[in-house]
């Protein structure tokens, strides 16, 4: 994927300290010397190209609602289809592939445990594959941002 300098700056510079204002995209636009509309259109384009999965806050687990890390073992030839199905749930923050028998991992957040269990069961029923739920037992802070290196 060939990204412009503005796209690279947008992806790299706003992983942390995202403006918490009524119009955050206007503030980002001002810092990057472009229009607010350009920022919104660029984020939409990057989302459609699957360069980004979402723009949103990351909260400490189980402070707002409940969450779990989940894993599935999916045949390689069905992985993309199942991952797209899993990503279709608004409760799923993100999913990713790992090189393991359990090759599809995702984080699911819901309003309460009953809703979380309902979504997990629905994913199993819809995909035909068992979901292993790995709820948080001990909290460790892992910074999800990283300095993107461009070649």
The structural domains of the chain, with segments of one domain joined by +, span 5-48, 66-134
Average pLDDT over residues 120-125: 97
C-beta of residue 92 within 8 angstroms of C-beta of residue 122: no
Query: Considering only CA atoms, which of 8, 135, 148 is closest in space to residue 70?
Result: 135
pLDDT at 54 over 70: yes
pLDDT at residue 61, rounded to an integer: 67
Class of domain 66-134: alpha beta
CB atoms within 10 A of CB 141: 6
pLDDT in tens, 57-94: 766 666 678 899 999 999 999 999 999 999 999 999 88
Q: Kindly state the tokens that stand for 60.
A: 């400490």
With a CB cutoff of 8 Å and minimum separation 6, the contacts of 55 are 18, 43, 47
pLDDT at residue 142, rounded to an integer: 66
pLDDT at residue 143, rounded to an integer: 64
pLDDT band at 136 (very low <50, low <70, confident <90, very high): confident
pLDDT at 140 over 90: no
pLDDT at residue 74, rounded to an integer: 97
pLDDT at 120 over 70: yes
Q: Kindly state the tokens that stand for 90.
A: 């608004």
pLDDT band at 147 (very low <50, low <70, confident <90, very high): confident
pLDDT band at 144 (very low <50, low <70, confident <90, very high): low
pLDDT at residue 79, rounded to an integer: 95
């Amino acid at each position: 994927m060939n990204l412009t300098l503005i796209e690279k700056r947008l992806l790299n510079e706003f992983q942390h300290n995202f403006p918490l204002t009524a119009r955050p995209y206007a503030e980002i636009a001002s810092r990057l010397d472009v229009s607010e509309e350009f920022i919104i259109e660029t984020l939409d384009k990057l989302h459609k190209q699957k360069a980004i999965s979402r723009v949103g806050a990351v909260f400490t687990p189980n402070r707002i609602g409940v969450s779990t890390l989940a894993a599935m073992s999916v045949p390689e030839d069905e992985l993309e289809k199942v991952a797209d199905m899993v990503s279709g749930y608004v409760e799923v923050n993100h999913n990713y592939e790992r090189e393991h028998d359990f090759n599809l991992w995702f984080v699911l957040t819901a309003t309460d445990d009953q809703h979380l269990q309902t979504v997990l069961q629905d994913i199993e029923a819809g995909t035909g594959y068992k979901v292993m739920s790995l709820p948080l037992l001990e909290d460790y802070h892992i910074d999800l941002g990283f300095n993107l290196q461009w070649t």
